[in-house]
């Protein structure tokens, strides 16, 4: 039934929205944030270069095979293959993603991994202008030190005040 995944996405969105900006935990939280921030840079460095097939494969490797990707404009995909197919068709060579650094938040999920949230900006490859942005939430699973993304929400896509692409796009 199609409504069940939509309800699940709404519940996940509600839970993410209720997460504190930082969790109490001191050094552990700082290490977790540093780890997820590094992973975010890596996954989107590969995304930003995904017109190269090797970089697209590197990007894909960060996602669970059964990843669910909820996109307010594009709909839902239920697998890594479908998500990467959409990335190849609609993103690679067309635009890049930049994290709005001050928006990045990480919250641990007990006995599972973490949720990373924030705002990302989109920059057109042909003009180097960044004119769109959206909210994101990514659920990361940690299995014996291997981190992978199991759920993604990309929503609230909107126009943004134009800026030029930073030299270190995606970082």
Give the mean model confidence (pLDDT) for residues 125-138.
96
Give the mean model confidence (pLDDT) for residues 48-76.
98
CA dihedral sign, ordered 73, 79, 82, 85: positive
Give the Cα separation of 119 and 55 in Å (integer).
23
pLDDT at position 4 is: 58
State how far Cα 99 lies from the chain centre: 9
pLDDT at position 165 is: 77
State how far Cα 102 lies from the chain centre: 15
What CATH architecture does domain 25-164 belong to?
Answer: Roll (3.10)
Which residue has 């959206």 as its token pair?
134
Listed in sequence order, the residues at least 6 apart from 78 whose beta carbon sits closer than 8 Å to its beta carbon are: 5, 66, 68
**Residue count of the chain:** 171
Give the Cα separation of 108 and 32 in Å (integer).
8
Tens digit of pLDDT for each residue in 1-54? 455 555 545 545 544 444 444 444 578 899 999 999 999 999 999 999 999 999
Nearest to 116 by CA among 49, 6, 48, 34: 34
% of the chain at pLDDT higher than 70? 82
């Amino acid at each position: 039934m199609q409504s069940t995944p939509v309800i699940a996405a709404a519940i996940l969105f509600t839970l993410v929205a209720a997460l504190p900006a930082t969790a109490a935990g001191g050094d552990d939280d700082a290490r977790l944030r540093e780890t997820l921030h590094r992973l975010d840079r890596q996954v989107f460095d590969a995304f930003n270069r995904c017109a190269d097939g090797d970089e697209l494969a590197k990007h894909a490797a960060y996602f669970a095979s059964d990843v669910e990707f909820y996109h307010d404009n594009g709909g839902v995909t239920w697998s890594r293959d479908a998500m990467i197919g959409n990335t190849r068709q609609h993103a690679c060579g067309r635009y890049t993603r930049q994290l709005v650094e001050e928006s990045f938040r990480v919250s641990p999920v007990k006995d599972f991994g973490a949720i990373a949230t924030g705002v990302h900006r989109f920059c057109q490859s042909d003009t180097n202008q960044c004119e769109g942005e959206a909210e994101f939430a990514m659920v990361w699973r940690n299995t014996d030190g291997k981190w992978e993304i199991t759920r993604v929400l990309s929503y609230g896509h909107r126009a943004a005040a134009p800026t030029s692409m930073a030299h270190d796009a995606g970082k």
